[in-house]
Structure 1
Amino acid sequence: MMCEVAMEEQEREISDIEPQECSKVAENGVLLVVNHSRIQPPFSVVLATVLYCAEFVSAAVLCSMYHKTDDDIWMGTTIAFMLLPAVIIQLALTFIHRDLGRDRPLVLFLHLLMLGPVIRCFEALVVYFKAGKKEEPYVTISRKISLKKGQGMPMEWEIGQSERNLATHRNAFKRTAVIQAFLGSAPQLTLQLYATIQEKYILPARLALMIITLISITYGALVCSVLAIQIRYDDYKVRLRPFAYVSMIVWRGLEIAARITALVLFSTALTHWVILVGMCNLLFFFFLPWVEFWARKGSLTQDVEKNFSKLGTTVVLCMFTLLYACINIFCWSAVQLDLSHRELIERKQRWGRLAMYYSGRFVENFLLITLWYFFKSDFYEYVCAPLLAVQLLICYSLAVLFMLLFYQFCHPCRRLFKYNVHDCLHCICCRTRRREARGRRGKLPPSYSTAATMVLVQEEPLELLDPRNSQPLDLTSQLGERETAIVEDMMEAA
C-alpha cells in the first residue's frame, strides 16, 4: 500500500511539471517515463475527408452533364463507381466506431445521407481543439515502466482520452482512404479515361474528376505502404523522412498511372477482352489468400469481432480479401494476407513475392500495350504509337526503380531486413563465393542489413543484432538500474 501511495505521488509530481521538461523518477525499482509531445493535428483525417467530398461532388457534377447530353451509359457507370465506395465507407465507419449499439441518431442519419466522413472529421477536429483547453494534451500523458528483479518488464500506458479518440479516428480514416481509392477512384479513373478516348475530347469536369481520383489512388497506395510498415514493425517508432514520402509518391504515382493507361488503351482496341483480363486478375488475387489458408490448414481468426459468428467472420474476411484483390489489380498492395492470424497480415517481408509481382505485372503491361499497338483504331494515327508504348514501359520501369530506392535507402526499418535490395540483386554464384570466403576467414563482416536502429530505448539491444533471434526483447538486461527516457510517443499518428 505504501508503495502504491508513493507511486501515485510521483505520478502527480510528473503531471504537474512544465511541458518543456522531461522528468525521470526512479525509486524502489519503479521507473516513470514521461513524454510531453503535443497531440498531433488530424491532418490525415482532414485530407481523407477532403478527397472523399471532392470526388463525390465532381462525380455528381459530371453525372448531371452526362444526363443533359443523354449519355446514359457513362452516367450510370459514374454513379455506380461514386456510390459503391461511399456506401462501403459508411458501413466501415459505423463498424469501427460501433455506433449501432449506441444512441446516436444524428450520426446514423448523416451516414444514410453519405455524409459520415464529414461528421467524423468534425468530431476529430472538436476533440483536437478541446484537448488543449483541458488538463490533457501532454500533461497527463505518462508512461510508467515497472522493473522487477528476476522478472520481465510489464509496461502500462496512461494516455489521455483525447489522444485515444484521435487515434481511433486516424485509424478509421486510413482504412476508408484505401477503400475509397481502390473500390471507387481506380475504377472511376479508368472509366473516365476510357470515355475521354472514345469521345475524343476532354470535358473540364471530367478532367477535374480524373485529377482528383489519381490523387486519391496515390494517397490510398501511400497509406497501404505506411500501414504495412507500421503493422510489421509495431515494436518500433516508425517515422518516415520527407525524401521517403517523395520516393513513395513517385513510385506509386508512376505505377498506377502506367497500369491504368495500359488497361485503358487495351480496352479501346479489344473492348470485351479487357473484362476477361480484369476478372482473371480479380479472381486470382481474391482466391490466393484462401488457397494459402487451406494449404496451411489454418482456422479462422475470432478476433475480427467477438460477437460475430463463423459466417459473419467469413463475410468480413471475404470483403477484406476483395479489397486486397482490387488493390493488387492496380498496384502492389505492400502486404500479404494471413487469414488465420489475428492481424490478418503477415509480418515477414517476402522479397520473392515482391519480385514475382512486379515481373509478372511488367510482362502483362507489355502484352497489353503490344496487343493495343497491333489492334489500335484509326484515332491513334495522329499519335506516335511506338513512342507512347515505350513511354508507358519506361514509366513502369521508373516506378520499379523508385520502389527499389525506397527499400534500399528510405525504408525506416531497412536495417532490420535480413536481406535488402542489394542482397537480392546479387547472383547466386557471387553469394556462394562470398559465403565460402567468409567461412574461411571465420567471421562475418558487419553489414547494415543486420543491425537494428529503431528501438524503444536509447541504446540498441544486443538481441536485435542477430536477425535469427525472434524472441521478445528483454529490456531489463539493457536498462539495469539507470534511468531511461523514451524519446518518441508510440501513440503518435504516422
Structure 2
Amino acid sequence: MCEVSRDEHQITDVERCSVLAENGVLLVVNQSRVQPPLSVVLATVLYCAEFITAAVLCSMYRKTDDLVWMGFSIAFMLVPAILIQLTLTFIHRDLGRDRPLVLFLHLLLLGPVIRCFEALVVYFKAGKKEEPYVTISRKYSLKKGQKMPMEWEIGQTERILATHRNAFKRTAVIQAFLGSTPQLTLQLYATIQEKYVLHIRLALMVITLISITYGALVCSVLAIQIRYDEYKVRLRPPAYLCMIVWRVLEIATRVTALVLFTTALPHWVILVGMVNLLFFFFLPWGEFWARKGSLTENVEKNFSKLGTTVVLSMFTLLYACINIFCWSAVQLDLTHRELIERKQRWDRLAMYYSCRFVENFLLITLWYFFKSDFYEYVCAPLLAVQLLICYSLAVLFMLLFYQFCHPCRRLFKHNVHDCLHCICCLRGNSEKRGKPPSYSTAATLVLTPEEPLELLDPQNSQRPDLTQPMGSRETDIVDDILEAA
C-alpha cells in the first residue's frame, strides 16, 4: 500500500491508501487493533444522565406546581428519546428480525443501554489484537463446513462495532439538537425567571451543554470524514481542544442571547425561532428545486417516493435545528447519495457567522433596551460586551482550527489565510513578485483520483514493484474511517 508522506512538510494528519492488484487478486490488509467503542459508551452515558436528571427535575416541578416548566421539560425529554429508539431500530434493521427483548427495551426507552451492552460484549469477546485479513480469493476458497478463520471473525467483529459507532453518532446529534438545546434554553430561562438556582437544574444544564458540544463535535468530524473518505483522518488533541473551545463558546453565547431576548420580549422570540427554522429547513429544498434534481434512491431500497421524502424532511429538520444554534459544518445536497455536499464552501461559512453575529448583536441590543427590573442588579453593558466578545472568540478559534488544526488543511485549494489575504491585503501583482507563497498554497494537494503519485509523495515518487514481496510499510492499510472520531 502507498501512503502520503508523513513528514512535517507534507500531509501530516491524513494518509491515503491505494489498493494494489497482484495477479488479479485484491489484497485487503488491516493490522490495527480493534478500537474500544468509547463513542458508544459516551453517547449512552449522556443519554441516561440527561434523561434521569430531567425526570428528577420534572418530579420537583410537580411538587411545586410548576406545571408549565414540567410540561416543557417532559416534552424535551421524551421527543428525542423516542426519535433515538426509532433511529437505532432503523439502522440495525430489527423490525425484520426475531428480537422481542430488544424491541421491548426500545419501547421502554432503554434501546441505547442494550445497544451499548451489545457493543461491549462484542468488543470483549473479540479481544484487543486484530490479525491481518486474508485475500478476497481465500474467502471464496473456503469449503462448505470449514471453520471460519480467526482473522475473518475479527473482521466481522470490527464491522459490527463500526455499525454501532455509526448509529450512536447519529443518535448523539439527535439528542443534542432536538433535546439538549431546547432543554438548556428552557432551564436557563426558568432560572432567570424564578431568580434562584436549583442544584438539579444546574446539573441538567451542565449535562445538556456537554451533550450539545459532543453533538457539534460529531457533526464536524463526520463532515470531515465524508468529504475526505479516501483518507485516514486523524484528529490530534490540539484539534479536539480547539473545536471544544470553539463549540462551547458558540453554543453558550447563542443560547444566552436567545434567553435574554426571551426575558425581555417573550412573544417575539417565537418569530425569531420560526424564521431561523423555516429558512434553514427550506434552504436545501430550494437548492434542490433550483437544480431540478431528483431524489436520491439510496436512502432505503424499500422506500417509496413518499417514504424517501419523509426521511429527507426529517433529516432536513435536524439540519435546521443544528444551524439555529451553531454551524452544522455540512451543506446538504439532497441529490447526492450521501446527502452531503463535499465541496468546502468558505463563502457560506463566512456568511453564516457574519449573519449570526449581527443577529446576536440585535438580540442583545433589544434585550438591553427592553430588559426588566431584575437586571438592575447586573451590569448590563458589561454582560452585553462579554457575550459579543465570547462569540468573537468562538469565531477566532474556528479560524484557528481550519488554518492550523484541520487534519486535511493541506488539501484545501484555499485556506483561511488566503481569504484574509484577498480581503485585507490585496495588492498588485508587481508587489507579489519575489514573495514566498502563502501557507495553504505552499503544500496544497488536490483531492482527485487521477492525482500522480509524484504529487502525493515527492520524496517517495518511485512506484512500487508488484513483483517484489510487500514490505511491512506497504502492507499497512488505514482503519475504517468511521472509527476516527
Q: What TM-score range do you get, normalising by the shorter chain?
A: 0.7 to 0.9
Counterpart residue number, 2:453: 461
Q: Judging changes above 3 Å, is the alpha-carbon distance between structure 1 residues 143 and 364 closer, same or farther for their aligned structure 2 residues?
A: farther
Could you tell me how far apart the structure 1 residues matched to 2:461 and 2:483 are?
A: 27
Contact 1:93–1:116 at 8 Å: present in 2 too? yes
Contact 2:225–2:481 at 8 Å: present in 1 too? no
Could you tell me how far apart the structure 2 residues matched to 1:270 and 1:446 are?
A: 48
The SS at the match of 1:237 is strand
Contact 1:35–1:143 at 8 Å: present in 2 too? no
Could you tell me how far apart the structure 2 residues matched to 1:103 and 1:384 are?
A: 62
Counterpart residue number, 2:480: 490
CA shift for structure 1 position 491: 4.9
Could you tell me how far apart the structure 2 residues matched to 1:449 and 1:184 are?
A: 42
CA shift for structure 1 position 426: 1.4
Q: Deviations over 1:389-428 (max 9, x none)?
A: 0000010000000000000000000000000000011135
Structure number with higher relative contact order (C-alpha < 8 Å, ≥ 6 residues apart): 2
Q: Deviations over 1:121-157 (max 9, x none)?
A: 0010011011129xxx512535679xxxxxxxxxxx9
Contact 1:62–1:205 at 8 Å: present in 2 too? yes
Query: Is 1:313–2:305 an aligned residue pair?
Result: no
The SS at the match of 2:232 is coil
Could you tell me how far apart the structure 2 residues matched to 1:493 and 1:128 are?
A: 14
The range that moved more, 199-208 or 157-166, is 157-166
Give the one of 449, 457, 464 matched to 1:479.
Answer: 464
Contact 1:40–1:492 at 8 Å: present in 2 too? no
Could you tell me how far apart the structure 2 residues matched to 1:465 and 1:447 are?
A: 19
Q: Judging changes above 3 Å, is the alpha-carbon distance between structure 1 residues 429 and 375 closer, same or farther for their aligned structure 2 residues?
A: closer
Give the one of 165, 175, 189 matched to 1:170.
Answer: 165
Give the one of 378, 396, 399 matched to 2:394.
Answer: 399
CA shift for structure 1 position 433: 2.4
Query: Is 1:237–2:226 an aligned residue pair?
Result: no
CA shift for structure 1 position 36: 2.0
CA shift for structure 1 position 349: 0.3
Please, what TM-score do these two structures have when normalized by structure 2?
Answer: 0.86
Counterpart residue number, 2:103: 108
Give the one of 326, 329, 334 matched to 2:324.
Answer: 329
**Pairwise mapping of residues 2-401 of structure 1 onto structure 2 (< 5 A)?**
28=23, 32=27, 34-132=29-127, 137-142=129-134, 160-401=155-396
Q: Deviations over 1:45-95 (max 9, x none)?
A: 000000000000000000000000000000000000000000000000000
RMSD (CA atoms)? 3.0
Counterpart residue number, 1:6: none
Q: Judging changes above 3 Å, is the alpha-carbon distance between structure 1 residues 465 and 313 closer, same or farther for their aligned structure 2 residues?
A: farther
Q: Deviations over 1:17-53 (max 9, x none)?
A: xxxxxxxx99757684633211000000000000000
Q: Judging changes above 3 Å, is the alpha-carbon distance between structure 1 residues 392 and 412 closer, same or farther for their aligned structure 2 residues?
A: same
Could you tell me how far apart the structure 1 residues matched to 2:49 and 2:249 are?
A: 22
Could you tell me how far apart the structure 1 residues matched to 2:384 and 2:366 are?
A: 11
Could you tell me how far apart the structure 2 residues matched to 1:479 and 1:460 are?
A: 13
Q: Judging changes above 3 Å, is the alpha-carbon distance between structure 1 residues 429 and 129 closer, same or farther for their aligned structure 2 residues?
A: closer
Could you tell me how far apart the structure 2 residues matched to 1:142 and 1:396 are?
A: 52
Q: Match for 2:45: what amino acid?
A: V
Could you tell me how far apart the structure 2 residues matched to 1:460 and 1:42 are?
A: 37
Could you tell me how far apart the structure 2 residues matched to 1:264 and 1:26 are?
A: 60
Counterpart residue number, 1:451: 443
Q: Match for 2:453: what amino acid?
A: P
Contact 2:418–2:438 at 8 Å: present in 1 too? no
Could you tell me how far apart the structure 1 residues matched to 2:446 and 2:103 are?
A: 42
- Percent identity over the alignment is 79
CA shift for structure 1 position 445: 4.8
Contact 1:286–1:321 at 8 Å: present in 2 too? yes
Q: Judging changes above 3 Å, is the alpha-carbon distance between structure 1 residues 204 and 444 closer, same or farther for their aligned structure 2 residues?
A: closer
Could you tell me how far apart the structure 1 residues matched to 2:343 and 2:108 are?
A: 41
Please, what TM-score do these two structures have when normalized by structure 1?
Answer: 0.84
Could you tell me how far apart the structure 1 residues matched to 2:365 and 2:209 are?
A: 25
Q: Judging changes above 3 Å, is the alpha-carbon distance between structure 1 residues 90 and 233 closer, same or farther for their aligned structure 2 residues?
A: same
Counterpart residue number, 2:10: none
Could you tell me how far apart the structure 1 residues matched to 2:387 and 2:221 are?
A: 26
Contact 1:237–1:455 at 8 Å: present in 2 too? no
Could you tell me how far apart the structure 2 residues matched to 1:393 and 1:428 are?
A: 23
Could you tell me how far apart the structure 2 residues matched to 1:222 and 1:107 are?
A: 29
Contact 1:286–1:324 at 8 Å: present in 2 too? yes
Which runs of 5 or more residues in structure 2 are unaligned? 1-19, 138-150
